[in-house]
């Protein structure tokens, strides 16, 4: 007797094969769930927009292998305001800069090893609830449209928020930063100068309302970039010009440009937006896990997948009840911690305000007051948001009183 047609294309459709989507697909597939992972990219190495700097413990926590690590770093260099330079070095590596395209490949490969199906060149356009499931409208590479039916759909499309949308409350709006980065091939002397640390450029004469960076990569390459928060109330100069000026000031103007990329990072500060609408769930940057202070979100995106996965597995096991998912926003907030919110406030205040000499002077006082000599403490400050390492003098600034 012919069997009944399978009503669903998959149990869970994951839209977006970035860190959050691919990690979720892996965990679900490992638990035996039929997962379809789609991405609008035709190749996962394309558009590797992220600088992908991480602290070392994130590599351990998420089992990130050596093959995706482009360089390790063991110190911090803060340049600015003006030409002021501060350097902190550790004996041991403190973190890594990843090849973001290779990370995407590896994560999606892990999901496939456990049985998830990956389809590239598929763009999700919209969705609607369909009885006990969801219908997602997608476009394939040749422009044709089709419907994908699933029990659940996860929007892991990053800051695009392709399905979950941009609805944020006026009291807690989306704050957006735009970044441009070039991959440069440099000589051994320049590699030696920039190769061991993460260098940041702070102050309005470097990048107004943002910051610049030079990060090491493998094979004599550097990632040089600028990022700036969007401020509709001010005319902002073209980012590419600011990047060119940074490259020239760093003495890197003659280096060969191997790749140009960039992207947007967008989060609310208090993260009160909806994380789920019916059978659609947001994940990673699509629900504001990216942190605006250092423009950093890979480990938070991966962590969001680990928070959601057990809740979604429970919901799949009990189709009549999805109450486990009610806990998702609060568990994710707990995972990110209260310091995450404080650092978002600090980012908005510091970067948006950094537009003139007065703001530079305030930043200079803050940096001068940095009560640490250890690179490890700076990592705790910038990656764990341990602002008390600034000392009590900084508290009024952090809370917005000065």
Ligand X SMILES: Cc1cc2nc3c(=O)[nH]c(=O)nc-3n(C[C@H](O)[C@H](O)[C@H](O)COP(=O)(O)OP(=O)(O)OC[C@H]3O[C@@H](n4cnc5c(N)ncnc54)[C@H](O)[C@@H]3O)c2cc1C
Residues that bind ligand X (CB under 6 A): 15-21, 38-41, 49-54, 123-124, 156-158, 160, 162, 179, 181, 225, 227, 262-265, 284-285, 290, 295-299, 301
Please give the backbone phi and psi of residue 126, each rounded to the nearest 5 degrees, phi first: -175, 175
Q: Which is nearer to ligand X, 195 or 263 (CB)?
A: 263
When the beta carbons of 301 and 359 are compared against ligand X, the nearer one is: 301
Pairing of strands 75-79, 197-202: parallel
Shortest Å distance, C-beta 164 to ligand X: 11
Residue with smaller CB distance to ligand X, 285 or 360: 285
| Least distance from ligand X to the Cβ atom of residue 229, Å | 12
The answer to whether the CB of 313 falls within 8 A of the CB of 33 is yes
User: Which lies closer to ligand X via its Cβ, residue 21 or residue 329?
Assistant: 21
Min dist. Cβ of residue 6 to ligand X (A): 23
Reference 315, options 11, 20, 35, 22; nearest CA is 11
Could you give the CA distance from residue 391 to residue 377 in angstroms, rounded to a whole number? Answer: 12
Q: Which of residues 44 and 394 has its CB atom nearest to ligand X in the complex?
A: 44
CB of 71 to ligand X, least distance (A): 12
Q: Write down the least CB distance from residue 277 to ligand X, Å.
A: 16
For the purposes of burial, counting CB atoms within 10 Å of the CB of 265, is it exposed (0-12), middle (13-18) or buried (19 or more)?
buried
Q: Are 20 and 100 in contact (CB under 8 A)?
A: no
CB of 298 to ligand X, least distance (A): 3
| CB of residue 253 to ligand X, shortest distance in Å | 21
Give the nearest distance from C-beta 308 to ligand X in angstroms. 12
In whole angstroms, the minimum distance from the beta carbon of 358 to ligand X comes to 28
What does residue 75 show for φ and ψ, rounded to 5 degrees?
Answer: -165, 175
Select 220 or 262, whichever has its Cβ closest to ligand X: 262
Instruction: Return left, alpha or beta for 58; rule: phi > 0 is left, psi -120 to 50 is alpha, else beta.
Output: alpha
Q: Report how far Cα 184 is from the mean position of its chain's Cα atoms.
A: 22
φ, ψ (nearest 5 deg) of residue 293: -65, -55
Q: Which helix or strand (DSSP H or E) is residue 224 part of?
A: strand 221-229
Which alpha helices (H) appear in 31-139, and where do they start and end? 56-61, 100-113
- Give CA torsion, residues 380, 383, 385, 388, to 10 deg: 20
Question: Would you say 157 or 242 has its CB closer to ligand X?
Answer: 157
Would you say 239 and 209 are in contact if contact means Cβ atoms under 8 Å apart? no
**Given the complex with ligand X, which of 266 and 397 has the nearer CB atom?**
266
- Whole-angstrom distance, CA of residue 149 vs CA of residue 164: 17
* 213: enclosing H helix or E strand: strand 210-216
Please identify, using beta-carbon distances, which residue of 125 and 395 lies nearer to ligand X: 125
Residue whose token pair is 């320049």: 190
């Amino acid at each position: 007797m012919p069997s009944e047609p399978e009503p669903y294309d998959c149990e869970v459709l994951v839209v977006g094969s970035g860190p959050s989507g691919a990690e979720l697909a892996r965990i679900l597939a490992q638990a035996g769930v039929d997962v379809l992972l789609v991405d609008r990219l035709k190749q996962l190495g394309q558009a590797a927009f992220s600088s992908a700097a991480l602290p070392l413990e994130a590599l351990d926590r998420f089992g990130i292998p050596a093959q995706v690590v482009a360089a390790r770093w063991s110190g911090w260099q803060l340049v600015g305001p003006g030409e002021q330079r501060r350097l902190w070095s550790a004996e041991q590596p403190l973190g890594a800069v990843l090849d973001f395209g290779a990370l995407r490949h590896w994560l999606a490969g892990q999901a496939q090893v456990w049985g998830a199906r990956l389809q590239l060149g598929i763009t999700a356009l919209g969705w609607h609830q369909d009885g006990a499931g969801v219908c997602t409208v997608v476009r394939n590479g040749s422009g044709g449209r089709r419907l994908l039916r699933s029990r659940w759909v996860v929007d892991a499309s990053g800051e695009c928020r392709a399905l979950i949308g941009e609805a944020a409350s006026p009291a807690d709006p989306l704050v957006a930063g735009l970044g441009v980065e070039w991959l440069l091939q440099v000589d051994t002397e320049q590699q030696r100068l920039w190769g061991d640390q993460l260098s940041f450029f702070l102050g309005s004469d470097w990048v107004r309302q943002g910051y610049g960076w030079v990060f090491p990569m493998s094979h004599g390459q550097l990632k040089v970039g600028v990022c700036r928060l969007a401020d509709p109330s001010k005319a902002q100069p073209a980012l590419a010009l600011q990047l060119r000026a940074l490259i020239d000031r760093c003495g890197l103007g003659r280096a060969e440009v191997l790749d140009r990329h960039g992207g947007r990072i967008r989060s609310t500060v208090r993260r009160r937006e909806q994380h789920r609408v019916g059978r659609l769930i947001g994940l990673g940057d699509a629900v504001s896990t990216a942190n605006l202070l250092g423009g950093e979100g890979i480990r938070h995106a991966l962590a969001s997948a680990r928070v959601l996965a057990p809740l979604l597995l429970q919901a799949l096991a009990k189709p009549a009840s999805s109450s486990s998912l009610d806990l998702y926003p609060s568990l994710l907030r707990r995972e990110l911690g209260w310091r995450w919110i404080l650092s978002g406030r600090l980012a908005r205040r510091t970067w948006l305000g950094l537009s003139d000499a007065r703001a530079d002077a305030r930043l200079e006082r803050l940096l001068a007051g940095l009560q640490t000599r250890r690179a490890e403490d700076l990592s705790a400050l910038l990656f764990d948001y341990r602002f008390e390492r600034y000392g009590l003098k900084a508290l009024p600034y952090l809370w917005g009183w000065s």
